Structure 1
């Protein structure tokens, strides 16, 4: 589709310059100001030697500066690359190096760790606050005028890899071209006030915010997740629309007095990115008294591709079983369920691997041809790595993961990353990492460990060892010490058997 992300800021600055675009860190930026600031950022990036295809790093919490960079980069054909600030310093530096970022903007909160000369970030590092504002002011507010092509990459988001450095998912103008249709499906328009609590390094943050910006509304950025503060914000800011992950939605419902607050401005709450129970959905409906949309998608599909409509959220109705589904694909999205071994199509109701074909599919991973080849199945189809089935009405039910990825509080954890760290412990002979159900986070990480002969290993020792070596969301929250791990004849660990006791009676729902 002939669409450019950069048109968002140019069009709204011309048509409704004084309308608020982004609020965060105690200030609000209008569309005209965003156009001006992004033009200054564009000129600053040009002065630093960047151009079409260059990567611009951003390591920071949700803040207006990110959108200066996103649109500023787009104005010269460069690509914004937000990095997960929850990772360790070495992981952040490795991702910036993989992206070949020649300019990286770092949140002042992380300046001590990342902006020092010996921190390891290559190229120019600019800290938000006074240094960043001085950098902007030092360049003219002149739009370089780059327009580009539909297939030009504009955003690169990193998703956890099974080994080594995470993979950079490239997203193009064409991938985001569904913005208008998405905004309509999510009830966003120019009068909306949209809450953005998901981190901008997630597609749930950047994708949701871009849909709101496309609609021309105000985005209210959430820097830190505090359920009580979020409840206050929804009421105080008269929030009309929000994308909230299930864990946070549940925490908000548990805030004392939450059900008695004024949510009369709310038009809809969308949720997704991790599992949610029917009971949690029922409580959300009772607390917020607003329509709920469930979204299913992934970074590689530029976010949502399947949606469960509000009318299907009926916990007491005759079709309450639909609340266990992900919904139906959008009109522009095709779904196939196939045998993962042979590629043969499965009949309705039969479980297989879910494949997707749509204009939202990524063109591939940044400089990872082998991984891209495994992702893309040919003829426009993409493998999701998820297992499920489609019923006779076209509703998609996700039952398990082809991959072993764990989704905990909307963070993706690949077991092999954790297993490799734990396996280095001298007292561990064998280890498998699985996801187990958790009322708050959807899933948490569990390590199943075989102690080395003669080792006096304890759960606390394993947890302590992991705490020193892994980012917080990757660390196991529990440990089982066992004599042996179940394996098939070829020696592969039977993780399905390890998970089964914990998921018995719960199903395995991916939202």
Structure 2
């Protein structure tokens, strides 16, 4: 089976007239999505773009993105997904790095290296003409399908090349793990150029024959309106978006009553945020999952899992294998913290760019090193301790920002908090926190540091607490701690 066959099961089971994609402009049924994807595939082939050739897509969530994603797969082309938040220079660098033959983009984007098709002006010839029959492909399931960039950006990021087989595995694992069904109406609120939205949310929805509602620019008010208007039953959000939702006065239990499932991933959910979400949506099952662009979905934690596993990110569903390994590659026993590693058919095929001195497979036995640190319990539940790039090495000891952030977020005035590393002449690095206050509430640096010291040892307490109206984030809501550190050093040097 190939990724282009993703909706064949639902079509065979009668999904044809049901909505497959909904955006601000209208609705596309499964039958029409099938035909439009075939027409796009034939248009590519007519332009001598076929098996193994790369094309690029730079667009906000819209129906055309779904057609192009499915159609490129049916032509055997490799789709390069580019961030709409990247600068023109970053996008151009990504195009040069990945070498697509053609690019599809929204109006106004030009490239010096790649011909551009304007989706707002010239899309009809590509999406609405040509044969509606399925192209015949002689393609191996391990052939490349798509190239996405880690973290949802292009500047300085790694390109992850994934196969048809790998992302079909992810779609199946997510559909089963989240409990999606054909009657679901699934809201896609994060950008489709990122793995989580595309392969862990939209593709699983299609696998089940559910309706996918595509949100464009995020706001809590738009989310609430979309849930209400489309009677959304399932939504994927990152913790930042959940925080926005909880602060929005229009987000009421009554207006969100159609929801039965909320999935979250991307960064750890602070306990206070989880409690507030449960209070707002007591009828909703909250599901957490963990994964990477390189791996797709790795773990799932359902609402029905034991309450004492709440701090974990869940268990790995077969055929995903998960382990924790030491610096010498030894497999660590339960509860010991080490590097999270994974093995199985879900892994990437190739890394484009990045640091060649940091191999993905350092142990040469098929296990991929995620770079993240965590611990497994005897039942296979994974506790994520820190993303590798966020660890603070202070006096030769690893400090984990999540632990410090969880303590600071106990203060009722804090809406958000990020702890990051700054250089220190004696200890190498020390932690500094930047916080965002909830509207109408107050806190001082001294009382927040005192709160940290009341729970944590002194070496883990932040040396400074900075206040800001917001935290810098990537396109998928991850806090850009490297930017926080750079901004801190710049301001320190200035003063």
Q: Given the two structures, how large is their TM-score scaled by the length of structure 1?
A: 0.75
Structure-to-structure mapping, 1:456-475, within 5 angstroms: 475=483
- Residue deviations 1:382-440 (CA, integer Å, cap 9, x gap): 1010111112332211212333489xxxxxxxxxxxxxxxxxxxxxxxxxxx9995865
Structure 2 SS opposite 1:260: coil
Aligned residue number for residue 458 of structure 1: none
Which residue does 1:197 correspond to in 2? Answer: 189
Cα distance, 1:300 vs structure 2 = 0.7
- State the secondary structure of the residue aligned to 1:479: helix
Q: 1:137 to 1:368 in 2, by over 3 A?
A: same
How far is 1:233 from its partner? 1.3
Please give the residue correspondences for 1:155-304 in structure 2 after superposition, counting only pairs within 5 Å.
155-159=146-150, 165-178=156-169, 179-207=171-199, 208-289=201-282, 290-302=284-296, 304=297
RMSD: 3.2
Q: Secondary structure at the match of 2:3?
A: coil
Within the candidate set 339, 362, 367, 1:381 is matched to: 367
SS across alignment from 2:339: strand
- 2:311 is equivalent to residue 324 of structure 1: yes
> Offset of 1:75 from its aligned partner?
1.4
* Runs of at least 5 residues in structure 1 that lack an aligned partner in the other structure: 407-433, 451-469, 484-511
**Hey, what does 1:125 align to over in structure 2?**
116
Q: Distance in 2 between matches of 1:32 and 1:60?
A: 23
Task: Give the Cα–Cα distance (whole angstroms) in 1 for the partners of residues 422 and 32 of structure 2.
Answer: 49
Structure 1 SS opposite 2:160: strand
Q: 1:8 to 1:442 in 2, by over 3 A?
A: farther
CA contact (8 A) 1:276 1:442 kept: no
Report SS of the residue matched to 2:373: strand
Deviation at 1:9, TM superposition (A): 3.6
Verify the 8 A CA contact 2:19 2:28 in the aligned structure 1: yes
Match of 2:464 in 1: none
Structure 1 residues 176 and 398: alpha-carbon distance in aligned structure 2, compared to 1, 3 A threshold: same
Partner residue in 2 for 1:7: 5
Q: In 1, are the aligned partners of 2:23 and 2:62 still within 8 Å (CA)?
A: yes
Q: After superposition, where does 1:412-491 map in structure 2 within 5 Å?
A: 437=405, 443=418, 475-476=483-484, 479=488
Looking at structure 1, the residues matched to 276 and 210 of structure 2 have their Cα atoms a distance apart, in angstroms, of: 29
Assess if the C-alpha contact under 8 Å between 1:449 and 1:482 holds in 2. no
Aligned position for 1:425? none
* Structure 2: distance between partners of 1:203 and 1:161: 8
Q: C-alpha separation between the residues in 1 aligned to 2:225 and 2:152?
A: 37
Instruction: Name the SS for the 1:300 alignment partner.
Output: coil
Moved more, 131-140 or 71-80: 131-140
- Give the Cα–Cα distance (whole angstroms) in 1 for the partners of residues 53 and 156 of structure 2: 19
**Using a 3 Å threshold, how does the CA distance of structure 1 residues 347 and 445 change in structure 2: closer, same or farther?**
closer
Is this contact kept in 2: 1:21–1:217, CA < 8 A?
yes
Taking the aligned partners of 2:372 and 2:359, their CA distance within structure 1 comes to 17
Structure 1, 347-356 or 473-482: larger mean CA deviation: 473-482
SS of structure 1 residue aligned to 2:310: helix
CA–CA distance in 1 between the matches of 2:66 and 2:173?
22
Q: Per-residue deviation at 1:141? A: 3.1
What's the CA shift for 1:372? 8.2
CA positional deviation for 1:378: 2.7
Say if 1:83 and 1:92, in contact at 8 Å, map to a contact too.
yes
**What are structure 2's unaligned runs of at least 5 residues?**
393-400, 426-472
Task: Give the aligned partner of residue 358 of structure 1.
Answer: 344
Does the CA contact (< 8 Å) of 1:4 and 1:147 recur in 2? no
Match of 2:23 in 1: 24
* 8 Å CA contact retained: 1:271, 1:295: yes
Structure-2 separation of matches of 1:371 and 1:166: 15
Change (3 A) 1:404 1:220: same
Judge which range, 79-88 or 331-340, deviates more.
331-340
- State the 1:162 CA deviation: 12
Match of 1:336 in 2: 323
Structure-2 change in CA distance of 1:440 and 1:42 (3 Å):
farther
Q: What do the CA deviations read for 1:232-285 (whole angstroms, capped 9, x no partner)? A: 211221111111101101111111142332433322111011122101001111
In structure 1, what is the equivalent of residue 438 of structure 2?
none
Once residues 135 and 163 of structure 1 are traced to their aligned partners in structure 2, the CA distance between those partners, rounded to angstroms, is: 26
